Amino acid sequence: MKKLIFFLISLVLSTIIIAPLFGFNPLVFAFVLGAAGLINGSHKNSYFATGLMQSNMNADFVFKTAKNLVSKYLNLPPGQTVDDQMITQATLRSEVLLNTSSTNFHVPVNQNDSITGSSQYNTENRLGLQDLFVVSSIAVLVAKPASGTDGAFRAYTYPSAQVFSGAGTAAALYGAFSNGYIRYENNGQLVLPYWDLLRHLKVPNQQYFDKPYYSAANTQSYNDEQNGEVDGFEVVQPGFVLSGASKVNMNIVLPTALAAVEANSRIIVLQRGLILQNLSGVR
């Protein structure tokens, strides 16, 4: 209701101010602007929606939705409810080494992954055997660490030419973002049949450049613009529940193998949401 009131007030003020300024018919202007706003606003239930937005209201909605999902998933002891459990925000981080021979890259989610085992990079954060996790948003990023143990590399929402400078490597990753997808099965049941990677590609308006235009004497270079709160993240609605005790089979699937890959290059999958500790049923 608050969004609708704000939308109507904005529509009236815009009509009063802008229509006379440019000589528009006020009724026609209000109709066109209102129709466009309502159509655009139907996306993700937000008037004049701009994509993923962080707020306490959104976080509260995610929290309540997660509780409902877990209530259906769990068989709690008599007298216990989800309200009795500790539910906190958390992030799962999975990293996959790229190569030029595969079209299917397994994304390890659990600490004891059924395919990769317990071996993991020092920058990963996988789901514990005893825990449940409700996914609310996903990001797919690319990175080029200096080594298998590097902990100071940067993750990108697109294949920056500054970083992926080898012949054909940036083009290959653009192709992966444009045409690849995530497929996810839980204990053999298909949950995500085709989650396209293109939704995670974010090419920033400001990209790296070592010769700034504003002053020949100023050697300070541009940096890639990036907002780690929202860039590359896509809302998962309805969410789904991951269990550390389940066989989670998540894969990134490409139509063709990457034509070129630089050493140590990885795809990083971040899953943000809510974690419920010690509730997977494993003790």
Asked whether residue 94 is domain-assigned, the answer is yes
Instruction: Indicate if 39 and 158 belong to the same structural domain.
Output: no
Which tokens is 43 given?
């996306």
Instruction: Indicate if 165 and 218 belong to the same structural domain.
Output: yes
User: pTM for the complete prediction?
Assistant: 0.70
Q: Which domain holds residue 257?
A: 79-276
Asked whether residue 73 is domain-assigned, the answer is no
- Identify whether the C-beta of residue 232 lies closer than 8 Å to the C-beta of residue 154: no
Name the residue with tokens 């100023």.
218
- Identify whether the C-beta of residue 272 lies closer than 8 Å to the C-beta of residue 137: yes
Asked whether residue 58 is domain-assigned, the answer is no
Give pLDDT tens digits along the chain (283 positions). 445 555 556 555 555 655 565 555 555 445 544 554 544 444 433 333 334 555 545 655 666 666 666 666 666 656 666 666 678 889 999 999 999 999 999 999 999 998 888 889 999 999 999 888 989 899 999 999 999 999 999 999 999 888 999 999 999 999 999 999 999 999 999 999 999 999 998 887 766 666 666 656 656 556 565 665 666 678 887 778 888 989 999 999 999 999 999 999 999 999 998 888 877 665 4
Instruction: Indicate if 124 and 243 belong to the same structural domain.
Output: yes
Q: Which residues contact 147 (CB under 8 A, 6 or more apart)?
A: 264
Asked whether residue 166 is domain-assigned, the answer is yes
Q: Which residues pair with 214 in a beta bridge?
A: none
- Identify whether the C-beta of residue 186 lies closer than 8 Å to the C-beta of residue 246: yes
For residue 49, the Cα-to-chain-centroid distance in whole angstroms is 17
For residue 108, say if its preceding peptide bond is cis, omega within 30 degrees of 0.
no
What are the φ/ψ torsions at residue 84 (nearest 5 degrees)? Answer: -85, -10
Distance, in Å, from the CA atom of 147 to the CA atom of 99, rounded to the nearest integer, reads: 15
Instruction: Indicate if 11 and 144 belong to the same structural domain.
Output: no
What are the φ/ψ torsions at residue 134 (nearest 5 degrees)? Answer: -105, 115
How many Cβ atoms from other residues are within 10 Å of residue 194's Cβ? 8
Name the residue with tokens 């939308």.
7
The structural domain count of the chain equals 2
